[in-house]
Structure 1
Amino acid sequence: MSEHFNTVVIGGGQAGLAMGYHLARLKRPFVILDEHAKSGDSWRTHWDSLRLFTPARYDALPGSRFPAPPWSFPSREEFADYLGSYAEEFGLPVQRNVRVTSLSHNGQAFVIDAEGHHFEADSVVVASGWDRKPRVPAFAEQLSPAIRQLTAGSYKNPNGLAPGPVLVVGAGNSGADIALELASNRKTYLSGRHPGEIPWRVDAVAARPLTLAVFFAFSHILTLGTPAGRKARPRVLSHSGPLVRVKNRDLVRAGVVRVPRTEGVKGGLPILADGRTLEVANVIWCTGFTPDLDWMDLPVMGADGRPVQDRGVAATQPGLYFLGATFQQSLASSMVHGVGRDAAFIANRIAAAEAPDVVRPAGSAAPQ
C-alpha cells in the first residue's frame, strides 16, 4: 500500500527542513522523509570537535534565530539540537527512520521506495545532502596497507589514528579544522592549494562590519546572476570556498606543515607535486564529496555525475527539484544561511505548478 503526497522532500537535514518551512508557508501538502531517528542526527556523524565555520548569526534556518550568541561558533551537537527544535517549533511533518532506496516515475507520479515504505508524489525535492560520497583519488588504493586511511566523513577524533605522522589532503575548511586539531600531538602535514581566506577574525568586534559585508557578498554578489559569481563558481566547485574561521596563521602557529598537492604514490608512500614522498602513518582525505544519487532511476544526470539542474529545477524531469548543492544559486547555497532562499525559490515553483493563485512572495507569513 502506498501513501500519496503532493510533495515528498527526501532528506531531513537543514535543507529538507528549510524546504518544509517554505512549503508550509505556502500551505502546500508535503512530507519530509528522514533516514535518521531524530532531526539533526546527520550532524552527529561528523567528527567530535566539529564547529560550524560560520558564526551563529548565519546558522539559522528561515523564520528563526540560532539560540546562541550571534558571533559564537556552534558545535555539531548544538546545531543538531537546533535542527530538532526547529522541526518541532514549526510542526513540520517529518517521517523518521525512513531511508529512501529508489526514486522513479511511472508516467503519472513519482514512486519512492524506502525499505518497507512506499510513497507516490506529484513533485519531489531531493535534499538528502551533497556531502555523502567522499571523493578519493584512485591512487589511494596504492598506498601501503600499513597507512591508515580516513576521510573527512569517517574521521572522528585523534584516537582513531595509528601512532605516527598524518597527512591531511585537502586544505579547505574541513582539512584546516582537522589538521589544526591533530597538530597538537603529532606531526601533521596539510597538502593542497590554499583556497584563500577571510583575512580577519570574523568574530572580532572591530571587524564585524567587514564580516557582514563578506557574507552579504556570498549571498548577493557571488551568484549565478552576476559576472563575478559566474566566474567564481567553477573555481569553488573544483576546489573549495575560502577559509572562514581557521586562518593560515593558526595552522602555522600550531606547527602544521604546509606541503604541495598530493599527486600519487611511490613505494607505498604519498608523493607530492615537488617529487617528495612523505613517510606517514595516516592519510585523511578532505578532498570533497560527490552526491550519492545512485538510488535515482531517472534520466537527470549529466556527464559529470551531477544532476542537470538550474537553481534546483531538474532540466529533464518536470516536478523534480534539488536543494543544497554547492553554488546552486550563490556561494552561500551550501551554507546554512543560504539554503533558505533557495528553498523559497523551489517552493514557489512547486506552488505555481500546482495552484498558481496561492503563490506568495518569499518572506510572507510563516507557517502557523
Structure 2
Amino acid sequence: MLDYVVIGGAQAGLAMAYHLKQLKKEFVVIDGEKEIGASWLNRWDSLKLFTPTEYNHLPGLKFNAAKGHYPTKVEVANYFKLYVEKFNIPVQLNTLVTSVRKTKEGFFITHKDGEIEARNVVVATGPFHIPYTPPCHTKISEKTLQMHSNYYKGVHQLQEGDALVVGGGDSGYQILNEISKDKTRTVYFSGDTTVRSLPQHFLGKTLWWWFTIVGFLSYSKYSWIGKRINSSTQPVIGTDVKEILSRENVISVGRTKDALNEEIFFETEKKDTIKNIVWATGYRPNFKWIEGLELDENSYPKNYRGVSNIDGLYFIGLPWMFTRGSATLGGVSKDASYLANVIANKN
C-alpha cells in the first residue's frame, strides 16, 4: 500500500509530488493521458499563457525562458516533462481513474486496468472536466460543423462559410480573434460584449506585476475583497476586445437562444448562413467518481484549502480553492506548500 496516490499529472499534481518527495513519502502520480503535458498539448495551436515566465515557476525549478516571455503550450508541456525528470517523480500514464473508494485502511483507486491501494489520495484533476455545450446544439443541421473549444486546434479545421463563436471569456475572445483575421469570412459572436479587457503591460510593467503588488491573486476567498473579486465578471486578459468587436467582419448577435436545422436564433435576430460553430462555453466539474464526497453548490468538493470532508482525501488545483491564483501554473505552489504542511503535521 502506497502512502499517497496523486491523481492528475499537470501543474497541480506535479507541485504536490515535489513536496511528497521532500517528505520522503512513497507515492505515484497517475494520469489518464499518454504523456505528461497532454492537458496543454490538446488545446488550440496558438494558445499561450496569460502570465509571463517569471510567474510560472513550480516549486524547486524555474521556468527556463526569458523574463517577460509568454510561453506556448508546447513550452509548458516540455517544462512539465523536465520537472518529472529532474525530481525523478514516479508517474504512471494511461491510467484513467474510474472510482475512488474509502476503506478502513485507506483508499481503493480503481482504473481501467486494475486497482491501486493508498493510505491517502490527492486529487489534482483541475477544474476542466466535461466540455459544456448548450442543449440547442442537437437541433442544428449536420451540415454545420460544430466543436467545443476543447477540441478546437485552428482555423484549418473549419469549412468554408460563415462562423459563429459562442462564449465571452478568454477562450472565446482568443478564438474569435483568430478566426476573424480572415477578412473574407463573416464571424458572428454570441457573448458578453461589455466584458473588461486588460492589457498584458501597463506603465512599463506586466499586468501580473501589478496584480502581485496589489495582492489581487493573494486575497483569500473568505475575505471581503476576495468574495467581491470572485463574484464579479472576470476580465479578458491580453486580448483587445474592443478592437476585435470593431472589425467589419465581426457581428455581435447577443445570446444564443435556440436552433432549428440551419437557423440559429439569437436575442434579436436569426441567421441561416452559419457553417461553423465553436462553442467556447466552458466546462462542468465531475467528481461523481469519488464515493461519499460532499459537493458545494457549484458541484466542486467541499474543502478547506484542499482538505476534504473525507479523512486522507485532499484536493489541489481547483478554481478559487483558496485564492484567485489557486488554479494557475504560478499560483498552485502556495496551495501545495500548505497541503505539505498539513501532511507533515498529520504524520
TM-score w.r.t. the length of structure 1 is 0.86
After TM superposition, the structure 1 = structure 2 runs for residues 1-368 of structure 1, keeping only pairs within 5 Å, are 4-185=1-182, 186-194=185-193, 196-202=195-201, 206-208=203-205, 211-216=208-213, 217-221=215-219, 223-235=220-232, 241-252=234-245, 255-265=249-259, 268-277=262-271, 279-302=273-296, 304-315=298-309, 317-353=310-346, 355=347
Pick closer, same or farther for the CA change 1:194–1:323 going to 2, 3 Å: farther
Aligned to 1:360: none
State the distance in 2 between where 1:230 and 1:49 align. Answer: 33
Query: What code does the residue aligned with 1:73 have?
Result: Y
1:9/1:124 contact within 8 Å kept: yes
Aligned to 1:363: none
Give the secondary structure class of the aligned counterpart of 1:176.
helix
Give the secondary structure class of the aligned counterpart of 2:115.
strand
Give the secondary structure class of the aligned counterpart of 2:331.
helix
State the distance in 2 between where 1:134 and 1:61 align. Answer: 27
State the distance in 2 between where 1:144 and 1:298 align. Answer: 41
Aligned to 1:366: none
State the distance in 2 between where 1:36 and 1:309 align. Answer: 27
Q: How many correspondences in the alignment?
A: 343
Query: What code does the residue aligned with 2:244 have?
Result: L
1:319/1:350 contact within 8 Å kept: no
State the distance in 2 between where 1:284 and 1:319 align. Answer: 40
State the distance in 2 between where 1:287 and 1:334 align. Answer: 19
The structure richer in strand per residue is 2
Q: Which runs of 5+ in 1 are unaligned?
A: 356-368
**What CA deviation, in whole Å up to 9, does each residue of 1:13-33 have, x standing for no partner?**
111001111222333332211
Give the secondary structure class of the aligned counterpart of 2:97.
coil
Pick closer, same or farther for the CA change 1:210–1:154 going to 2, 3 Å: closer
The alpha-carbon deviation at position 276 of structure 1 amounts to 4.1
State the distance in 2 between where 1:210 and 1:287 align. Answer: 26
2:165/2:176 contact within 8 Å kept: yes
For the aligned residue pairs, the C-alpha RMSD in angstroms reads: 2.2
Q: Which runs of 5+ in 2 are unaligned?
A: none
The alpha-carbon deviation at position 343 of structure 1 amounts to 1.5
2:199/2:239 contact within 8 Å kept: no
Give the secondary structure class of the aligned counterpart of 1:181.
helix
State the distance in 1 between where 2:129 and 2:102 align. Answer: 24
TM-score w.r.t. the length of structure 2 is 0.90
